[in-house]
Amino acid sequence: MADPGDGVPDVFDPRRYAAGPPYAAYRELRDHHPVARQAEPEVLGWPAGPGFWAVTRHADVVRVLKESGTFSSALGATQIRDPAPADLPFIRRMMLNQDPGPGSRRRSGGGGAPHDHGTLRRLVSRAFTPGRIERFEALVRERARALLSGARDGAEDGVFDLVADVTDDYALLNLTDLLGVPPGDRGLLLEWTERVIAYQDPDESPVLGPDGRPVNPRSPAMLAEMFAYAQQLAAYKRERPGDDVMTSLAHSELADAELEMFFFLLTVAGNDTVRSAAPGGFLALAEHPDQQAVLMNRQVVVDTAVEELLRWHPPVLSFRRTAACDTAIAGQAVAAGDKVVVFHASANRDERVFADPDRLDLGRAPNPHVSFGDGPHVCLGAHFARLQLRVLHEEALRILPRTELAAPPRRLVSNFINGVKSLPLSMS
């Protein structure tokens, strides 16, 4: 894992994240190379790329995320690795890979005319209403209570794995309830999520193409099964409507391809945001017993604590944009067509914004973290994610005694998702 050169730390190699985000490297970049050129070598079988600019200061990250006219989500999509040129029109059907304004319109194919980014976001916002989400709170609380009680009561010698026993099921089942996925199909969503999210992790077996190289999990061929299911579920909801997001989408003005892409986005992002953030928060508490005591003694409001846990352990580590024109960031010239990657985890530890940022402070306020992004692509499901995290911690305060690490956590090898694969906790 060589540095990109000139003493600039490498924050690209996914293997660097196996022990957690490289916060020391982030700090060096913020202090000395706030817009740093990063090499993009072949890693874990994935081909080399042209390199990119790593943006690590909070103000610059927010600027890139907000200025969609200068930093485009559509030109090269939003993952660090370049998609195959033939796949790019397909990938641009997803709202995440579009830019606001009429120029973002992409021919969707089937079921009606395509919509621009703003219209798509408004259409889905109608389904993702705060009222609908709030109605799920009782169900979410019941599930949190059942999973936490089961983990506590089934623990061997007082030890349980929070990920396997609680958070994986909690995130997945909450999402499938919100979407309206029948119980027998819920395992499919987990399989599809893991295929897309864990593609960099050596523990996962990638699908190989005829050339022996891994196939991009976001390519049309790899998503065909998920898309076919989305259409089947939409047809089912038209005949048997319910109080769920897929019923709203099935009866909306979305074209067929747009509905498929929304199902993909909600399945993957909706599941993995909580699936990553929830164990990350409990890991932070286990590693900071003083702050765990503050929470257990009700010395801080749970909502405020959740915001600090999100700052400390953002579920998404990075997002890519592409410069639409020649520009500059923090004095560094950036050419049109260059890849620009913002690092949320670094922005959340920026000393220029957060006092004593390497200290977990559950009472921190204000707390302008960027764990759900910013600008026109700010996370549409942030309200639902916050509700789930708040309820989970509220129920943990009622059900679990003090917890501490029983063994080191196992983390996802990824420069994109801040995942925790296993979190053994002991109760005392």
CATH number of the CATH domain containing 89: 1.10.630.10
Domain contains 4 = no
Domain contains 178 = yes
> In which residue are the tokens 């917890």 written?
403
Task: Report percent pLDDT > 90 for the chain.
Answer: 63
- With bands split at pLDDT 50, 70 and 90, how would you rate the model's confidence at 210? low
Are 248 and 118 in contact, with CB atoms under 8 Å apart? no
d(CA 346, CA 349): 5
Amino acid in the structure at residue 333: A
| Of 22-26, 228-232, 368-372, 423-427, minimum mean pLDDT range | 228-232
Domain contains 9 = no
Domain contains 237 = yes
Torsion over CA: 309, 312, 317, 323 (sign): positive
pLDDT digits (tens, 9 = 90+) for 129-161: 777 777 889 999 999 999 999 999 999 999 999
| Of 39-48, 52-61, 345-354, minimum mean pLDDT range | 39-48
Domain contains 2 = no
From 74, 35, 71, 39, select the one nearest 55 (Cα to Cα).
Answer: 35
Residue 213 has pLDDT above 80, yes or no: no
Amino acid in the structure at residue 160: F
Domain contains 8 = no
User: Which two structure tokens, joined as six digits, stand for 351?
Assistant: 């000393």
Domain contains 5 = no
pLDDT digits (tens, 9 = 90+) for 241-294: 998 889 988 998 888 888 888 888 888 888 889 999 999 999 999 999 999 999
Q: Which helix (H) or strand (E) holds 268?
A: helix 256-287
pLDDT digits (tens, 9 = 90+) for 80-131: 988 888 888 888 877 888 888 754 444 333 344 456 777 777 777 776 677 7
For Cα atoms 220, 177, 201, give the angle at the middle one, nearest 5 degrees.
45
Domain contains 88 = yes
Give the chain's domain count.
1
What is the value of pTM for the model shown? 0.91
Residue 375 has pLDDT above 80, yes or no: yes
For Cα atoms 386, 19, 79, give the angle at the middle one, nearest 5 degrees.
60
Greatest pairwise CA separation for the chain in angstroms:
62
Domain hosting 187: range is 14-427
Q: What pLDDT score was predicted for residue 107? A: 36
Residue 4 has pLDDT above 70, yes or no: no
